[in-house]
Structure 1
Amino acid sequence: MVDIEYKRELEAKRERVEDIFDFEGCKVGRGTYGSVFKAKRKDGKDDREYALKQIEGTGLSMSSCREIGLLRELKHPNVMTLHRVFLNHTTRKIWLLFDYAEYDLWHIIKFHRTAKVNKTSFNVYPNMVKSLMYQILNGIDYIHSNWVLHRDLKPANIVVMGEGSERGCVKIGDLGFSRLFYQPLKPLADLDPVVVTFWYRAPELLLGARHYTKAIDIWAIGCIFAELLTYEPIFHCRQEDIKTSTPYHKEQLERIFRVMGYPSDDVWPDMRKMPDFPQLTRDSITRKAYGKYYLEGYLMEKRLTWDLQSLLTIDPLRRPSAEDALKHDYFKIGEKPNEDVFGGMPIPYPKREFIADDEPDDNKQPQQQQQQQQQGAAAKTGGVPQQQPQPQQQQHHPHQQKVQQQPTGGVVAGGSGMHTVQHYPSASVQPPMHANMRGYPGGNMAPPPPQQQQPQQHPNYPRYQ
């Protein structure tokens, strides 16, 4: 039995987050599972800005524990950094200290989409999309090479650092859904039947694949790439059912086939082996109905040229790895990717504003219940969303509920975490852990399984060659 006096003495010596960081009145995000504050050190030892995420309740969910465990091991310039975890044994409050990221891809895309709708088109800076994609693939290559699947890649979970030493650096956040995939004891589909937000969910997941691979993350990155080019989600689907507990989703598959076409047996030989393939026939989804659709036709309609179409290869076995994608000529021809995705130019995107502490949060409990229905027994608690003002014409993002209106701004603490309200103007919407970074000098070693080697940190960020 632990001595009471010893516990008190230990508690007195424990560092408290309130004594180290100044964050009062600096709330920048709030969601179902907690709040996020913009913070700076009181002692002035550094002038960095941090994101303090307070997890509400009396403990940690399994997904939060998993995210904390992974982030403590993953050390890479393109992965969000978890610096410290604070636990107050008296109040039972838990605080996570992250990098503070001023922007995320969802806000960047929204900025350009709104400008497009308002006919005040403001295109992304030259080479910005290439730089964004290079860093996203670099980060996911590192994650995959250390036997981790992200399983929830979407624009809101890809953050971009603002002014400072890491200006324009892309970081992958929100690992609450991530899983180790080296020799799992059970199929991943048995542990989490529903993963990845609908619009970014690979077709093998929608057809109930029980054994899936890192190819599901590559598909999501392909969707993000297309969205960066068009400012619209390529597989936008109006029909949403956030309460579904099964991976099959008829409307989402129809949307994919309207862009990609219905795959033949040569294009995807194993499609007929998917557990939910018979449901396609029952729902009258056949090759004949989608014979005139193909990705190249979609790109021609949008007047686009796309160098990385292979990211959306419908057969997961033929989808390239992140390592392969990084070797594509897209990154070798013309201007090279930049560390600063803004290319040293002024940043046009609005910063986030502070949220009043006393604003009501009337929708927290229903939102929490709906997420638990979607994710099964393990509710996702890995992050805190940004909350946005609602335009007059609205379309709700999958798995997202109406929340209290908040000012626009950037993302914090490793991505949106929970699914926030994300609206698309209806006028514009159409019906690795890598021990050596392969995109950097000296990266030519394949990592052994995680139980044989601890992840290697990257103290320096080599410049792009």
Structure 2
Amino acid sequence: SRKEKETRSRPSIIDLPLPPTLPGGDSSPLHLASHQGLSLTLPALKKRPKICCPRYGERKHTKSDWGKRCVDKFDIIGIIGEGTYGQVYKAKDKDTGELVALKKVRLDNEKEGFPITAIREIKILRQLKHCSVVNMKEIVTDKQDALDFKKDKGAFYLVFEYMDHDLMGLLESGMVQFSHEHIRSFMRQLMEGLDYCHKNNFLHRDIKCSNILLNNRGNQKLSSFLMTMSTSLFSTIDSRPYTNKVITLWYRPPELLLGEERYSPAIDVWSCGCILGELFTKKPIFQANQELLQLELISRLCGSPCPAAWPDVIKLPLFNTMKPKKQYRRRLREEFAFLPTSALDLLDQMLTLDPSRRCTSEGALNSDFLCDVDPNNMPPPESVDLDSYLSVESRLTCWRSSWATS
């Protein structure tokens, strides 16, 4: 047909003439032969390399990978908790075979789009890369295409490395015995993660046992950065007031209870001191359900807040209204006399009423109790694999991980 003849007679790119040779131009045999009308037998071309992305699992994910995969790339094993945004699932990556925790971010009830608290947590976690801080690997969605979100609101999933337990669940189970050396290892890892956060200008502001994750190898990770605040936006820590309605009550330091709004990293160190005491006693050392009673319990053990022990306490907004009815002397060393001396010294420094005199996270790492600890050489606690001891219902109770709110 006429159309076929036109197609056959249409010149291809090979038939196009080459540009004229310029002085100093290419004088290769191929170039000269084409202009002189000579035929030249070309060598067989080598096979061109394929240009394609490696498969997932063949390389580490980069920032550009985030959000490209769908949740169907994971085999969901089961629900392991209820998080701030939605359920938390244990899952297996189909490409790598790695176990992960999928933290669901529901959008169906969000009028303003993606939750601002989730955005803050994601932004912070992407800046924190440390072996003692939980690692967020990527973000996946339950929609194959972005256009699907216009039709039906979907959900995002934050993909975290999987940790077998949280510290609160292990302590409450009563099935794991922590030796003196295990406590040293756990506190070393906790303070290393906290020191890293503080040196990168982050205050965690919600350290508690349920936000400390552990695996069956004895590795520990600090998690749950919902309340975390960056101080790098301000020239000094005292440049602006912050909310003092942070940190779960049992782990809240006295300066916050007395209304301090210009606080320092010392607030996190107090929380870690509470955890150190809890690791030895197997229960929270300050358990109150009201702020006034919480301050009362602190005063009974650490002494009443007074100018003699804490000169600036009289400047705090609630010093007169929250003052304990009775004046207590400090009895911490007496109550915890059963602790090893080095552990007692550190606990005393971490639970100092005056935040300016409280030890820092770096100071805790340099203390006699923690300075020579190597967590890599520490065998995991016996019976830490609770899967062989507890029923499914009990495991879900124990797995009150960092994603769950108090």
Smaller-chain TM-score bracket: 0.7 to 0.9
Matched, 1:348 2:375: no
Q: Does 1:138 find its partner at 2:138? A: no
Letter in 2 for 1:18: V
Aligned mates of 2:400, 2:240 — CA distance in 1? 29
Match of residue 376, structure 2, among 339, 343, 349: 339
Q: 1:407 to 1:74 in 2, by over 3 A?
A: closer
Q: Aligned partners of 1:329 and 1:124: how far apart in 2?
A: 19
CA distance in 2, matches of 1:155, 1:354: 22
Which of these residues, 70, 82, 98, is aligned with residue 48 of structure 1? 98
Distance 1:206 1:340, change over 3 A: farther
Does the C-alpha gap of structure 1 residues 32 and 138 become closer, same or farther in structure 2, counting only changes over 3 Å?
closer
Structure 1 equivalent of residue 253 of structure 2:
202
- Measured against aligned partners, the alpha-carbon deviations of 1:186-205 in whole angstroms (never above 9, x if no partner) come to 97985534100001001000
TM-score, scaled to structure 2? 0.73
CA displacement at 1:31 relative to structure 2: 4.1
Uncovered stretches (5+) of structure 1, i.e. residues with no partner = 1-13, 116-121, 241-248, 356-387, 390-405, 420-465
Q: Does 1:105 align with 2:92?
A: no
Write out per-residue CA displacement over residues 367-392 of structure 1, whole angstroms, 9 at most, x where no aligned residue: xxxxxxxxxxxxxxxxxxxxx86xxx
> Secondary structure, in 3 states, of the residue corresponding to 1:101?
coil
| Matched-pair identity in % | 32
In the alignment, what sits opposite 2:322?
A: 280
SS at 2:179 equivalent: coil
1:127 matched residue in structure 2: 181
Q: Give the deviation of 1:33 after TM superposition.
A: 2.4
Q: Which runs of 5+ in 2 are unaligned?
A: 1-66
**Contact kept? 2:134, 2:223, Cα under 8 Å:** yes
If you compute each CA radius of gyration, which structure gives the higher value, 1 or 2?
Answer: 2
Question: For 1:328-371, what per-residue CA distance to the aligned partner results, in whole angstroms no more than 9, with x for missing partners?
Answer: 111246xx332265x1454435249898xxxxxxxxxxxxxxxx
Aligned partners of 2:240, 2:327: CA distance in 1, in Å?
29
User: 1:227: Cα distance to partner?
Assistant: 0.3
TM-score, normalised to structure 1, is 0.64
In 2, Cα distance between equivalents of 1:69 and 1:183: 14
Residue 261 of structure 1 aligns with which residue? 303
Instruction: Write out aligned runs for 1:395-410 (5 A).
Output: 407-410=396-399
Cα distance change on mapping 1:78 and 1:411 into 2, 3 Å: farther
* Partner residue in 1 for 2:72: 19
Alignment map for 1:6-405 (pairs within 5 Å): 15-23=68-76, 26-31=78-83, 33-43=85-95, 46-58=96-108, 59-87=113-141, 88=143, 89=146, 90=149, 91-112=153-174, 123-162=177-216, 167-184=217-234, 192-237=243-288, 239-240=289-290, 249-281=291-323, 285-286=324-325, 289-300=326-337, 305=341, 306-308=344-346, 309-332=348-371, 336-339=373-376, 343-344=379-380, 346-351=382-387
CA-CA distance at 1:17 after TM superposition = 2.6
Distance 1:254 1:172, change over 3 A: same
SS of 1:331 mapped into structure 2: coil
Equivalent pairs, count:
323
Tell me the distance in 1 between the aligned counterparts of 2:296 and 2:140. 46
Q: Distance in 2 between matches of 1:328 and 1:19?
A: 48
Report the 3-state secondary structure (helix = DSSP H, G, I; strand = E; otherwise coil) of the residue aligned with 1:75: coil
Structure 2 CA distance for partners of 1:311 and 1:126, relative to 1, 3 Å:
closer
Report how far residue 291 of structure 1 moved.
3.0
CA distance in 2 between counterparts of 1:324 and 1:303 reads: 19
Distance 1:34 1:144 in 2: 29
- Contact 2:252 / 2:270 at 8 angstroms: preserved in 1? yes
Q: Retained in 2: the 8 A contact 1:21–1:39?
A: yes
The residue type equivalent to 1:203 in the other structure is P
Instruction: Give RMSD over aligned pairs.
Output: 2.7
Q: Distance in 2 between matches of 1:26 and 1:304?
A: 42
Counterparts of 2:399 and 2:387 in 1: how far apart (Å)?
6
Match of 1:383 in 2: none
